[in-house]
Amino acid sequence: MIDWLLDSDPSVKWKVQRDLLDCKEKEYNKTRRLISTKGWGKELLSYQDIDTSLWAGGIYGPKWKSTTYTMLSLMRMGLCPDNKQAINSCRLFLDKGHYKDGGINFFKSMTVSELCVSGLILQILSYFDIEDDRMHSIPGYLLDSQRPDGGWNCDDYRYKVSHSSFHTTINVMEGLLEYSKKYSRNSSEINKSLNAAVEFLLEHEVYKSSTTKEVFDIKMTYMAYPHRWKYDAFRFLDFLVDFEFGYDERFEDAISLLFKKRTKDGFWKMQGKYTGKVFFDFEPYGKISKINTYRALRIIKWYERVKLDV
């Protein structure tokens, strides 16, 4: 199993070395450096227009080939934060999207910043260590927009919604968490906010209606990658690992679902393909997946550890 995972694209191999084998930083970083020169990372970088620092000619569209979604993929793959092509694109996010309310707004039809996009862009900017005073207004905008139930909903500006959105909430959570890893500003407020958001999702047992306890959306039970802006149960479990969250019985059903998805040979498949154009698929859908097998083993390793601490 491990040898099979190590025979992977550098974007998978370095994470296996770090998270499953507990290799030393020097060793896995040597592999990580290859992302820009081999495999999927090299190919994605090759599609950038060097003159404009854009992918597919746009900041947010077309989906999923635009600069935003290509940068999300590169970030999630683990592209080294000092990559010059990525840094140049990060500057565009602020130049073209930083809005008067402190968030990110790429859309002429909107008079407020878009919460999902603000969360996504904050995560990218923080990951690539961007030094620009404008980015530090984004966490404040997101914190001020948190709803009483602990989550966020990007439809708040258009409708009087009564409930937070799974999708908006995970996008904001990931942005705030990445920011808190890199910067000390508002750390206690961000931590409090993230715990409230985790509580919101746990009240829904990760992927269920809080009232009926039925699956809220069947797509939330798919193990999809890349996530784009979509929420699913396993994306939230990934977040809990990154957040170093402890045990809570309310995520047991999601863990059980993860185990049920394991094939008889001990692997996990690639599930869920969101409508839209892509440069290429990382792995074939419906087939055994090295990405998802790594993700599942990482989650299980965390789960077994936190359960022992109870």
- Which residues lie across from 58 on neighbouring strands? 55
Q: Does any domain span residue 254?
A: yes
Predicted pLDDT at 184: 86
Residue 263 in 3-state DSSP? coil
Q: Where are the alpha helices (DSSP H) in the chain?
A: 2-6, 10-15, 25-32, 39-46, 67-77, 84-97, 115-127, 138-144, 166-182, 187-203, 233-242, 252-260, 290-308
Kindly write down the DSSP assignment for every residue of 205-253, as one continuous string: TTTB-TTT-SBS-GGGGS--SS-TT---HHHHHHHHHHTT----GGGHH
pLDDT digits (tens, 9 = 90+) for 174-202: 999 999 999 988 899 999 999 999 999 99
Q: Does any domain span residue 303?
A: yes
Q: Does any domain span residue 310?
A: yes
* Residues sharing a CB contact under 8 Å with residue 235, sequence separation 6 or more, in sequence order: 170, 227
Q: How many residues are present in the chain?
A: 310
Query: For the chain, how big is the Rg over CA atoms in Å?
Result: 19
Q: Does any domain span residue 269?
A: yes
Q: Does any domain span residue 49?
A: no
Helix axes 233-242, 290-308, angle to 10 degrees: 60
Query: Positive or negative, the Cα torsion across 223, 230, 95, 144?
Result: negative
Q: What is the mean pLDDT of residues 257-285?
A: 97
Please give the DSSP secondary-structure letter assigned to residue 51.
Answer: T
Q: Does any domain span residue 168?
A: no
pLDDT digits (tens, 9 = 90+) for 221-268: 999 999 999 999 999 999 999 999 999 999 999 999 999 999 999 999
Higher pLDDT, 158 or 118: 118
Letter for the amino acid at 178? E
Give dist(CA 66, CA 63) in Å, integer. 6
pLDDT digits (tens, 9 = 90+) for 15-38: 999 999 999 999 999 999 999 999
Residue ranges making up the domain that contains 291: 206-310
Q: Does any domain span residue 67?
A: no
Give dist(CA 309, CA 136) in Å, integer. 36
pLDDT surpassing 70 at residue 159: no
Q: Does any domain span residue 108?
A: no
Q: How many structural domains does the chain have?
A: 1
